[in-house]
Structure 1
Amino acid sequence: MDKTLQLSGEHFILVLNSGSSSLKFAVYHQTTGHRQWSGVIKGIGKPIGTMDLTDSYGDSIALKKEHYRNIEDASVAIIRWLRENKKHCLISAIGYRLVQGGAVHRRPEIITEKLLEDLKELIFLAPNHLPDELSLINAFMLEFSYLLHVACFDTNFHRDMPDCNKYYPLPAKYAEQGLMRYGFHGLSYEYIMQKLDKQHAFIDQKKIVIAHLGNGSSMAAVSLGKGFDTTMGVSPIGGLVMATRCGDLDPGAVLFMLKQNDITPEELDVELSHESGLKAISGTGDMEEILNSLCDDKKAEAALTLYCHQAKKFIASLAASLGGIDMLIFTGGIGENSPEVRERICAEMDFMGLKIDRCLNLRSEKVISSQSSKVCIRVMKTSEESMIAMHTRNFLLPDNENKLASALHAKTEKV
């Protein structure tokens, strides 16, 4: 076992974060909140997948290659690892990232049979995410029925957006049915704001735009320390162009696709979610591949140009929504790791007070704005798993003992 082994008797929180073709997991110390292990299973649904395990020092302790047919196979692999390390890893609770909980379920909550039934009814809101997320929960609740299970929703950060940013200009019946701009990547934004609050005095007085750029990309405008506006809407398909998602489209374009191609709404969803975006332009949704192909591939250049151009427009739009901008944060896999993308996005934005320092940017320093920039430009590492662990831990605190006892009793009754 690795050098972070804990003595028997210590308790931990398991965090599970499911993606479209990957499953991240992490183990946090229940008392200290310190991450002990983390891992990711990639290539789910592909001929060969990998399971990479890392200790608390960031050192890789295992890399296994297997065929993971689906999220159930990935779940079995993690459960097997937990069994093998049971004496070092006593799990007291499990926290899950859920992309969508509708209008009613936004704040973190204990998972009950009632919540699971409600989420099944909401699959139409997130057909590319919720089915796998529910399968993941079912697998772990079956194996660990006696533990506390907590759902953390990616929409929670945006719940207090003003009505002008929350509702679509459509007949009222649609809002009553749950059609609104929910926003996503909320756990990431919450983590960034928590970090900023510790590092800066009066951060709630700043007008902030956070750019979470990754396989899925979105931005959020933050005012008074709360989510004020965001780029994604009712689904994670909207907003910025992404790896395989189209981003914002004219509704007429959607109607055109339906009418001219005789496809079902389900087939259209697959096309907009899995065959569009950067992949449709360059043949790949992998930003690293695109960046490596710039010299001899015009399609790669076209994809990157569009991505960065759209990012510029959304930054300006969110700044207008806020009535100004004091700070721009880059986070997410691309935002944290690609100086090229950050530089292209910030190029010729000095009219808004954004000016990047090339040397600081190339070194991916924490602050990459030039001395003459009126806007502070930062690069920050995010951790959705850390936020899930924190929210899950809160249910284990003494103040929540009665709530926890009744929830566990209800689960026991079902079993």
Structure 2
Amino acid sequence: MSNAILVLNAGSSSMKFALYDADTLEPLTRGNVRGIGGETGLDVSGPDGAIFGAPRSLSHHADHQAAIAWILKRIREEPGLSLRAAGHRVVHGGPRFTAPVLVDDAILAQLAALTPLAPAHQPHNLAALRAVAQAWPGLPQVACFDTAFHRTQPRLAQLLPLPRSFADEGVLRYGFHGLSYQHIAETLPDLIGRRCEGRVIVAHLGHGASLCAMRERRSVATTMGFTALDGLMMGTRSGAIDPGLVLYLIQERGMAPAAVAELLNKQSGLLGVSGLSDDVRVLTESGDACAEEALELFAYRAVREAGSLMAALGGLDVLVFTAGIGEHAPGVRAAIASALAWAGIDFDGERNRHNAQRISRDGSAVDVLVIPANEELPIARAVQNLL
């Protein structure tokens, strides 16, 4: 009988899942239901991948609820597997939740109240919590927050230039992708030793994208703010835009707030600029001029934001690429790293083309690394610690 910790990580278009040995935290299975809401696919890895790999009964057009139900059903059907607890990525913890927490009905209600701050993610995160509670009544569940990692930032980095009463009510720059950044912070010492305590920028580039500046492996500044719509250009999200443009769309173009939200969250970014796709692989291979411009704008925005984070850090010692685009799009990495040569990056195009872990040349003043994202392991570790 294997005692296991289940980790569920619900994204806006994916449902990542993992099983870890409850005692050793050795991975049993990791997987991803991708393309939710469209052409759903399944990727599974790990020694016990067969738990999820067969039979392939997942619908090709599954939504989040169907994906969660399918995952839980497959676990229930697996002989010799006993769940000890479940851990969940919850995107927004607000001002109160700054560390992992055991979830009860009262906590769940407080997290639901934060849904307007992360409408594309929070409902899916909470649906996973409710689904596990229904399938395994009494099973301990732990919520781990994407916003928590950034609570080490100085107050000035968290403040918005609004009347003080807004900050008193919790209207602050929160930052996101914290679990991804936590994993990088925990991984770096084994890769570069004491250099990891210096000035580090991590580029989490996926369907959602952000940068985080770290000093002593703690968040100093980040590109996302009050919501996950701020900062970098993303797959379908605009990132930072002039707030006056939002007023213009409502007041002059007559757009309803809901339509503006749809525009900025689901019709912009790589998809909007290219008019073709939000998938970097599709854009890279298309040969389309608009697709090329979209990729150039994506890199340009990342370079500009990296410059602002260098100002907050006082320089740069290490640049890390992670997440789907960061790990698998050498063209995007090359565009960003080459544009930052002035900061001391001696970029190695050959290493980059082969997706090496280190893509800077030996002796570069700035180390440039590619590290696979793993938001699930910090969650499993938090569950184990709380239990």
Task: Give the Cα separation in 2 of the matches to 1:390 and 1:115.
Answer: 21
Aligned to 1:151: 143
Task: Give the Cα separation in 2 of the matches to 1:67 and 1:204.
Answer: 42
Aligned to 2:73: 80
From 96, 119, 123, the counterpart of 1:131: 123
Query: Residues 94, 301 of structure 1: CA spacing in aligned structure 2 closer, same or farther, 3 A cutoff?
Result: same
- What is the letter of the counterpart of residue 146 of structure 1? G
1:25 aligns with 2:17: yes
1:395-406 alignment to 2 at 5 Å? Answer: 395-396=386-387
Q: Which runs of 4+ in 1 moved over 4 A?
A: 57-60
- What is the letter of the counterpart of residue 27 of structure 2? R
Contact 1:50 1:64 in 2 (8 A): no
From 293, 297, 301, the counterpart of 2:292: 301
Alpha-carbon deviation of 1:177? 2.1
Alpha-carbon deviation of 1:107? 0.8
Alpha-carbon deviation of 1:394? 0.8
Q: What is the CA RMSD across the aligned residues, in angstroms?
A: 1.7
Aligned to 2:180: 188
Contact 1:167 1:180 in 2 (8 A): yes
Contact 2:58 2:67 in 1 (8 A): no
Name which of structure 1's ranges 264-273 and 194-203 shifts more when overlaid on structure 2: 194-203
- What is the letter of the counterpart of residue 361 of structure 1? N
Aligned to 2:171: 179
Alpha-carbon deviation of 1:193? 0.8
Contact 2:214 2:221 in 1 (8 A): yes
From 241, 257, 272, the counterpart of 2:264: 272
1:344 aligns with 2:344: no
Contact 2:195 2:317 in 1 (8 A): no
Query: Residues 349, 75 of structure 1: CA spacing in aligned structure 2 closer, same or farther, 3 A cutoff?
Result: closer
1:255 aligns with 2:247: yes
Contact 2:90 2:145 in 1 (8 A): yes
Task: Give the Cα separation in 1 of the matches to 2:336 and 2:206.
Answer: 14
Alpha-carbon deviation of 1:69? 4.7
Kindly provide the CA deviation profile for residues 174-202 of structure 1, in whole angstroms up to 9, marking residues without a partner as x. Answer: 11221111011100110011011233433
From 50, 56, 59, the counterpart of 1:66: 59
What's the secondary structure of 1:261's corresponding residue?
coil
Kindly provide the CA deviation profile for residues 86-117 of structure 1, in whole angstroms up to 9, marking residues without a partner as x. Answer: x2321100000010011001211001111111
Contact 1:349 1:355 in 2 (8 A): no
Kindly provide the CA deviation profile for residues 1-46 of structure 1, in whole angstroms up to 9, marking residues without a partner as x. Answer: xxxxxxx2x3000000001122111100111111111222223333
Query: Residues 377, 52 of structure 1: CA spacing in aligned structure 2 closer, same or farther, 3 A cutoff?
Result: closer
Aligned to 1:96: 88
1:217 aligns with 2:212: no
- What is the letter of the counterpart of residue 19 of structure 1? G
Task: Give the Cα separation in 1 of the matches to 2:63 and 2:339.
Answer: 44
Task: Give the Cα separation in 1 of the matches to 2:14 and 2:53.
Answer: 19
From 334, 337, 340, the counterpart of 2:325: 334
1:376 aligns with 2:364: no
What's the secondary structure of 2:33's corresponding residue?
strand
- What is the letter of the counterpart of residue 318 of structure 2? M
Instruction: Please tell me whether Structure 1 or Structure 2 has the larger radius of gyration of its CA atoms.
Output: 1
Alpha-carbon deviation of 1:52? 3.7
- What is the letter of the counterpart of residue 25 of structure 1? F
Task: Give the Cα separation in 2 of the matches to 1:27 and 1:372.
Answer: 40
Q: Please give the TM-score of this superposition, normalised by the length of structure 2.
A: 0.95
Kindly provide the CA deviation profile for residues 299-348 of structure 1, in whole angstroms up to 9, marking residues without a partner as x. Answer: 01110110111111111111111001100001111111111111111124
Task: Give the Cα separation in 2 of the matches to 1:133 and 1:348.
Answer: 37
Aligned to 2:280: 287
Equivalent residue pairs, number = 384
Contact 1:108 1:150 in 2 (8 A): yes
Query: Residues 349, 215 of structure 1: CA spacing in aligned structure 2 closer, same or farther, 3 A cutoff?
Result: same
Contact 2:200 2:213 in 1 (8 A): yes
1:107 aligns with 2:95: no
From 27, 42, 62, the counterpart of 2:34: 42
What's the secondary structure of 1:374's corresponding residue?
coil
- What is the letter of the counterpart of residue 109 of structure 2? E
Aligned to 1:392: 383
- What is the letter of the counterpart of residue 357 of structure 2? K
Task: Give the Cα separation in 2 of the matches to 1:97 and 1:227.
Answer: 19
Task: Give the Cα separation in 2 of the matches to 1:79 and 1:372.
Answer: 49
Contact 2:326 2:370 in 1 (8 A): yes
Aligned to 2:219: 227
What's the secondary structure of 1:159's corresponding residue?
helix
Contact 2:40 2:61 in 1 (8 A): yes
What's the secondary structure of 2:362's corresponding residue?
coil
Alpha-carbon deviation of 1:205? 3.3
Task: Give the Cα separation in 2 of the matches to 1:371 and 1:54.
Answer: 33
Query: Residues 372, 350 of structure 1: CA spacing in aligned structure 2 closer, same or farther, 3 A cutoff?
Result: farther
- What is the letter of the counterpart of residue 210 of structure 1? V
